[in-house]
Structure 1
Amino acid sequence: MNKREQLFEGERCRQSIFHFLKYVKIKEPGELAVDYILWPHLVDFYKQLANERFIDLIKSKQIGISWALAIQALWEIYYIDGWPVLEFSRGQVESQSLLAKSKIVYDNLPDWMKIYT
């Protein structure tokens, strides 16, 4: 991808988290990074994140919500100037895990997307 295409793609990612998600990879400890799969319920969740101030959610494990929140936080930090993001969870260990997920996503972005750091 040449510089012009990178700038174009970067702008598309800034305009839409759904475009940004095309470049996202996730990984669990001890596993290789894999492409992020946008399950149908997560499409709705991302739309709610964009349109609602508060979301009530009864969360169960293994449905991708923690990854979605970590990705959303990274996207906001990346593309919204001066945007403060707090990542917190039930306890310190869970909060550190959520922050680590954002770092994993960042670490696995294409190099050309890391120009902001």
Structure 2
Amino acid sequence: MPAPPPPAAADNTSTAENGTAGQGRVGRDDGHRYVLHLPVTVTTEDQALRFAYTLARSLALVPGVEVAGATVSAEDAQHVRRWVFCDRIMPDRRRCRARADHDGPCDPDR
């Protein structure tokens, strides 16, 4: 007897036939959003900040990635987060993309 198909919950496809067209697409503004959590463990806060900065900047062109919202935390205090980028909101509602605690004026295009 052939093996049963994988459970429907494991199917993350989006088709018009199954009535889920468009679900899960990045950028869709239907009120449903999901946040990706990707744990990465390093030994110092400086390493965490540098890695998060590099990773966030490398994903800057991906729709739906809020680069300026990147934070890091200690493994045993994940509720206490430190901003990777400056958290100031600019007049055009974008965040400053300079590193946190930067010198000089804020700039959303840095």
Q: Which has a greater percent of strand?
A: 2
Q: Which has a greater percent of helix?
A: 1
- When normalised by structure 2's length, the TM-score is 0.27
Higher Rg: 2
Higher RCO (CA < 8 A, seq sep 6+): 1
